[in-house]
Amino acid sequence: MPVLTLVSAVLVLTLEQLVQWRYGAAGILGLLLLTIGIKAKSPGVSSAGAVLLVLLVSRPAL
């Protein structure tokens, strides 16, 4: 079980670093809002985070 926890933590940290490198502080803010909204079961906060991430990802297409 500790191995699964360690692998999960490494994957989360890798994802955070990738978002930070690719999308900067706004990407981290969107990921943070999405995570907090899901854990708190708050659809408004998680939706705001998801919309921010979608806008960052689709920015070159607009």
Q: What is the pLDDT of residue 45?
A: 93
Both structure tokens of 51: 């919309």
Assess whether pLDDT exceeds 90 at residue 56. no
Domain boundaries defined on the chain:
20-62
Q: What is the pLDDT of residue 11?
A: 87
Between 27 and 51, the more confident residue is 51
CA dist., res. 33 & res. 43, Å (int):
10
Assess whether pLDDT exceeds 60 at residue 18. yes
Assess whether pLDDT exceeds 70 at residue 52. yes
Q: In Å, what is the CA distance from 54 to each residue of 2, 3, 17, 28, 45?
A: 34, 32, 18, 13, 14
